[in-house]
Structure 1
Amino acid sequence: MHSKTRSWWGWGYVEDAVTAEERAELTRRTAALLPGADLTVHEAPPVASFGVGASRVRAPRALASIVSEDVRDRLAHSHGQAFRDVVRALLGRLPHVPDLVVRPASQEQVVDVLDWCTGADIAVIPFGGGSSVVGGVEPRVGDAYAGVVSLDLTSMDRVLEVDTASRAALVQAGVFGPHLEEQLRPTGHTVRFFPQSFEFSTLGGWLATRAGGHFATHLTHIDDLTEAVRVITPSGAVTTRRLPGSGAGPSPDRMFLGSEGSLGVITEAWVRLQERPRWRAGASVGFADHDAGVRAVRALSQSGLNPANCRLLDPMEALINAGSPTAVLVLGFESADHPVHAWMERALELCRDHGGTLTEPPRHTGTADRSARTAAADAWRSSFMRMPYHRDALAAQGMIVETFETACTWDRFDSLRAAVDEAARDAMRQVGVVGVVTCRFTHVYPDGPAPYFGIYAAGEWGKTVEQWDEIKQAVSEALISSGGTITHHHAVGRDHRPWYDRQRPDLFGSALRAAKTVLDPAGILNPGVLIDPLRDH
């Protein structure tokens, strides 16, 4: 699909990394925000400097054509895309490298790989698109296995069937977001699922992590778009029935959604489709009082209007990413069936009731383009899409630039926000860094928001991973203690395990462990994710 080169250590394509002009502007803005920060640029070390050893295992001859032992390939599959992953790569600290990268091209080959690894005592780490930010794809499995392979399904990337009557498609799990939409475009349909990682994440990854998309209300999680799945486990295949809904016991789909490759490998799924939107409306609403903006968003979330975009940026987030000195609500509606003027007008009424003011008139369009956006929304969207590249650039300059997200009920939001802010600031003082905390809403529900926090701090080069880990520990404690979830859409992985274990009911954890013993009795699938490995290290 692309002639560009994926970065082995950071986000996206090498050719799309920040330009000299972008870096100069980032440096200027960061120096203004955090005077005194040491913003020296550090380059990624050469691949050869990691001293990656030879593979400890050898694939059967029948699988040789789908196996890679290339060092660059193995390093690229040794980590995800969290801040700590990127910085460790820049520092030359990637101690957990898979022995092989395996790219099956069919379900039969997935079966063969799992059979081989079960018999040879090899851990299997499903990789998806590698965009995990919680240690979910890192081969950090201890020394209880003969070896580790990274299972990459991106060769399985086709839309196999489209049911236009039911508006659903059977899709292979290894497809990246853009290629999925390209294949659906001739039919006039879309999955309408656009996480920030869209370009570099796969359908299987979305399903395995219960990912959240770009849209703020209604059909926000991949759960809502899943009609049926097919999963290959070491004990056999599981294929669920296509149904619009069912009350027949606990949902088998839900058992595998969010299982992070620990119960089986999702190889294909029937996903619900929608017609491509024709009508759009967009507006940016300013709030001098951020708390008033929160109340306006709560009213919108409970109005039944279901805006496609309802992102409230606090003043610091708005200043950094949209150039606004006040809180900004990026508001949008869209439809494939009808104009959305009335929905936008009622939404703006609700905003005015809470002191919101329009920075410019709302924009409307009746075409298939995306022109119904305001200048502030355009600035934020451009920043949003470039954020991962900017994060990498700033990480290479000693900055701590990372995010964490949660969800809570509306009655708990004020206390949760205050607790997180206090915990983050105290932790930054403890580790000796100066920084700011930001907050925006990514998704909103009638009963609560999904706050997405950001940390921008001037770290000390060589210590920023440890500094961030201390901050992460503190804010995670604040989230759990304040009644929030440890993650709204970033999954559990290995990094969130301590807090997930506290959030998850103990008996459910035991049931999950029992399910794994049935589906993966040798315990080879992504050991340590969700539950402890089935064997001692």
Structure 2
Amino acid sequence: GIITEAWMRIQVRPKFRASAGVTFPSFEAGAEGARQVVQSKLWPANCRLLDPVEAATAAGLDGAQALLVIGFESSDVPQGDFMRQAVAIARDAGGKVADDSIIISDEPGRATGREGSVGAWRDSFINAPYQRNITTGLGLVEDTLETAVTWDQWPKLDAAVREAIQNAMNHSCRGGTVTCRFTHVYPDGPAPYFTFSGFGQRGGELEAHQEIKRAASEAIMATGGTITHHHAVGRLHKPWYQGESPDLFLEVLRAAKGRVDGRGVMNPGVLFDG
């Protein structure tokens, strides 16, 4: 649509910050630790879990440990107690973190989360889009896809999506890698973010990407996930979005669009035909 007027919400810049990186012996153990932290209602500003492969490539770990990144921040309230409570919960769930790697700052302007494995992952995350501009030109088929799922369905979804992506890459890219991290974690479930990467056949990169995306999307829908958590829906997600949406909801959405955009000028055919 066309935005003609908008409100802007501003917030006071955080003064109090705290961060920590907690390692776990497996992705499954890390997921349990993350679940316990968010269900404690401490509401961390950052709670991300990296699987062992991503923790190794992006955060410098040994490839056998998952990394749970925890962060708190506030403009008004010191965050040390919240962080200590979150770390205690993570440790009780099997996590390990050295006391000197728990960074708590009550000084304005002092950043946290810039050192150690947490800082290494942060730098890798920021640099990834720039690196992708180079690797895509070299023929690498890579992308990310995300979903959200309840905790009870999470193990099944993780296994199914990894298998679907790997099988598709074996067929279209002669192999490749797939990793996963939690970008958002809620009391009722995580938002897993899968990354795949493999060398495609010259001239067939787009078809390879479509095959991988299709296989992953089918696996997500078959195991209780939603087709997207925050990447939004559009033509790429349309087949699965329509299958996920109740008929009545689509009718209401179509009626609303017909009322405000009767001639179908804005993004025709994106969410539904006609």
The TM-score normalised by the length of structure 1 is: 0.49
CA distance in 1, matches of 2:141, 2:149: 26
- Alignment partner, residue 74 of structure 2: 335
- Alignment partner, residue 196 of structure 2: 455
CA distance in 2, matches of 1:356, 1:380: 18
Residue 43 (structure 2) aligned to one of 299, 306, 317: 306
Residue 253 (structure 2) aligned to one of 512, 517, 522: 512
**Aligned residue type for 2:166:** R
**Aligned residue type for 1:481:** A
Residue 12 (structure 2) aligned to one of 275, 279, 296: 275
Structure 2 residue runs without a partner (length 5+): none
Could you say what the CA RMSD is over the residues aligned between the two structures, in angstroms? Answer: 1.3
CA distance in 1, matches of 2:257, 2:136: 38
Contact 2:151–2:189 (CA<8 Å) still a contact in 1? yes
- Alignment partner, residue 470 of structure 1: 211
Residue 124 (structure 2) aligned to one of 376, 383, 390: 383
- Alignment partner, residue 150 of structure 2: 409
SS at match of 2:83: helix
**Aligned residue type for 2:259:** V
SS at match of 1:450: strand
- Alignment partner, residue 358 of structure 1: 97
Q: Once the 2 structures are TM-superposed, how far is the Cα of residue 502 of structure 1 from its aligned partner?
A: 0.5
CA distance in 1, matches of 2:153, 2:60: 29
SS at match of 1:268: coil
Q: Does 1:431 align with 2:172?
A: yes
CA distance in 1, matches of 2:93, 2:244: 35
CA distance in 1, matches of 2:251, 2:207: 32
CA distance in 1, matches of 2:224, 2:205: 29
CA distance in 2, matches of 1:431, 1:284: 36
SS at match of 1:470: helix
Structure 1 residue runs without a partner (length 5+): 1-263
- Decide whether aligned partners of structure 1 residues 370 and 504 sit closer, same or farther in structure 2, where only a CA change above 3 A counts: farther
Contact 2:72–2:82 (CA<8 Å) still a contact in 1? yes
Q: Once the 2 structures are TM-superposed, how far is the Cα of residue 424 of structure 1 from its aligned partner?
A: 0.8
Greater relative CO (CA pairs within 8 A, separation 6+):
2
Q: Once the 2 structures are TM-superposed, how far is the Cα of residue 332 of structure 1 from its aligned partner?
A: 0.7
Contact 2:170–2:176 (CA<8 Å) still a contact in 1? no
CA distance in 2, matches of 1:449, 1:471: 22
The TM-score normalised by the length of structure 2 is: 0.95
Q: Which moved further from structure 2: 354-363 or 292-301?
A: 354-363
Q: Deviations over 1:373-422 (max 9, x none)?
A: 23111111111111111111111111112000000111100000011011
CA distance in 2, matches of 1:470, 1:375: 37
1:13-52 matches, cutoff 5 A: none
Segments of 4+ in structure 1 off by > 3 A?
Answer: none
Q: Once the 2 structures are TM-superposed, how far is the Cα of residue 323 of structure 1 from its aligned partner?
A: 1.6
Higher gyration radius (CA): 1
Contact 2:47–2:71 (CA<8 Å) still a contact in 1? yes
Q: Does 1:344 align with 2:83?
A: yes
Percent of aligned pairs with the same amino acid? 50
CA distance in 2, matches of 1:375, 1:434: 32
Higher helix share: 2
Contact 2:172–2:201 (CA<8 Å) still a contact in 1? no
**Aligned residue type for 2:80:** H
CA distance in 2, matches of 1:267, 1:364: 43
- Alignment partner, residue 395 of structure 1: 136
